[in-house]
Structures are given as C-alpha cells and as structure tokens.
Amino acid sequence: MAQAAYISRLARSTFLEVMYEDYIRTARAKGLKERVILYRHTFRNAILPLVTLSGILLGFALAGSVVIESVFGVKGLGAVLIGAISERDHIVIQNLVLFYG
C-alpha cells in the first residue's frame, strides 16, 4: 500500500503527458468519441511505464519478504530461500532467485 502513491503519481503524470501528444489531437480532429480516444490511444500508451514500475515494486516486495520472514519466523518463500542458502542447495537457490527476479 505504501507504493500506491508512486504508482498513482506516475499514472497521473503519464496520462496527462499522453493526453497532449499529437496523435491524440489527430484522433480528436478525426471526430472519434472521447471514450474511444481514452481507451484505444491514451490508456494503451500510458500503461507501459505503470507496468514497468509495478514489476520493479513487486520485486522489492518479494525481496522484503525474505527479511520479514526471517525476523518474525513466518514460513514462506523467504524462509525457504534462507534454508536453501544455509544448506547450500544451489538448485533451489537458483529457482527462487529466478522467481524473485
């Protein structure tokens, strides 16, 4: 929830930036409905930075789970990763790092 501020701020600035592009102005000049312009042109082009940021923040959340699970003793993927590191189980470590990545 703490990262929602970053996502909403980026969403607002990206949508405002895309709304003033030339192809949006051209779509309005062609007489397209505003709803079509928003969904087909604006949303498709403004969602790309949001997906990128969401992926990065998801990686941070998963990496934070390792610390939280080890501090509070909760069983989960972070605890499995720490157990695999202590037992030097390279295959499990590689798979979990790939999953977190």
The span from the CA of 90 to the CA of 77, in Å, is 15
Provide block-wise average pLDDT over 10 residues at a time, the chain (101 residues): 86 93 93 91 91 86 79 82 89 86 72
Q: Distance of CA 32 to CAs 13, 16, 42, 51, Å?
A: 23, 19, 13, 27
The span from the CA of 10 to the CA of 53, in Å, is 9
| pTM above threshold 0.75 | no
Question: 28-48 burial, b if ≥16 CB within 10 A, otherwise e?
Answer: eeeeeeeeebbeebbeebbee
Is residue 27 within 8 Å of 41, Cβ to Cβ?
A: yes
pLDDT of residue 23: 92
* Domains of the chain by residue range: 4-100
Burial class (CB in 10 A: 0-12, 13-18, 19+), 18: buried
For 76, the token pair is 């989960």
- The residue with tokens 């959340």 is 61
